[in-house]
Structure 1
């Protein structure tokens, strides 16, 4: 089942006004942790505000990535797993996400660049997702693209790893690197500006 089909199937089963991360994980079932990572990035790809999402979803992705890296089921604290999410705000984001994922499905090619997926590479990919999740959680929501860039990186890494498409994984690596460069440039510019005014 493709990523867009998984999310569409999830939407069809969302029949309550509020959902938790724990319930979303249960609804995804055997589709796995990587698909949940992909799902949790969708709110960061569109200009839709869902209060408290950045920290909660970022931490959930981080803990899932840790589990992927060590090959174990994830543990989540209650304030993450049981955080109430407004379905009325979440559903439109997921619906837009389905449209994006359907376009991505056309480009997915399982077994492409196989050296970047499977075995130990999945553990490494989990570590990179973990790092990108830390970038996602940084308190920089006032900075343009500060959530979008690491969100796209995680989406590419999660889909690439789950679908065994190494080209998507490579795209996730490059997007993570681009995010680091972007944040570094912002930090350097802020330091130079501060030094100018204080110097």
Structure 2
């Protein structure tokens, strides 16, 4: 059984608030961000790197690749049924500016307030292992796709947003939101594959 069940649902406000409070320096290490989510399940842990890449921080060279690899590794460990996630020290030591992260969170707050009102536990068939596995595979593929798509301006946002929505669905037990994320992921796969093929040709 995959360890993806949380003690209780986590709202988006709580997720972003925990990110803001991580660490105490001017820069926040990936390891600090991930450690504060570790006990809350894989949903919030996937949401953190996906959210970072979906904000202006994601425009920093290298960030889409780092967050994509992080998403891939966490998703793979979900499929392997690991009880706690592992990330290499090289990724955990990468730091981002607290001001840049705070700016992205501040910009997202109005949307988060509205979205939080819509989130609720529903469509519980998504809790079944087969659907959770499908979500994990989709997140892993999105993470991998984010690496080459860093070369195409803004296109890497599609898989990042898809992962974030799927992760929010997992974190809140909202199957409808998770299914929406899967739909966006499929669109991302189509456009992403086309762009990757054009890069290779």
- TM-score of the superposed pair, with normalisation by structure 2: 0.82
In structure 1, the residue matched to 2:36 is: 27
Determine if the alignment matches structure 1 residue 183 to structure 2 residue 192.
yes
Gaps of 5+ in 2: 1-9
Comparing 60-69 with 21-30, which one deviates more in the overlay? Answer: 21-30
Q: Partners of 2:73 and 2:162 in 1: how far apart?
A: 16
What is the Cα-based RMSD across aligned positions, in Å? 2.3
Does 1:50 find its partner at 2:69?
no
Q: Secondary structure at the match of 1:106?
A: helix
Name the larger-Rg structure.
1
Aligned residues: 189
CA contact (8 A) 2:75 2:136 kept: yes
Q: Is the 8 A contact 1:40 1:61 kept in 2?
A: yes
Q: Is the 8 A contact 1:50 1:90 kept in 2?
A: no
Structure 1 gap ranges (5+): 195-199
Deviations 1:65-115 (A, max 9, x none): 11122221222222111112222222211333343332221221212x222
Partners of 1:62 and 1:187 in 2: how far apart?
18
1:135 paired to 2:112: no
* Match status 1:65 vs 2:65: no
DSSP-derived class of the 1:63 partner: helix
Over 6 Å off, 4+ runs: none
Cα-to-partner distance string for 1:166-187 (whole Å, 9 max, x where unaligned): 1111111111110122134446
Contact 1:34 1:162 in 2 (8 A): yes
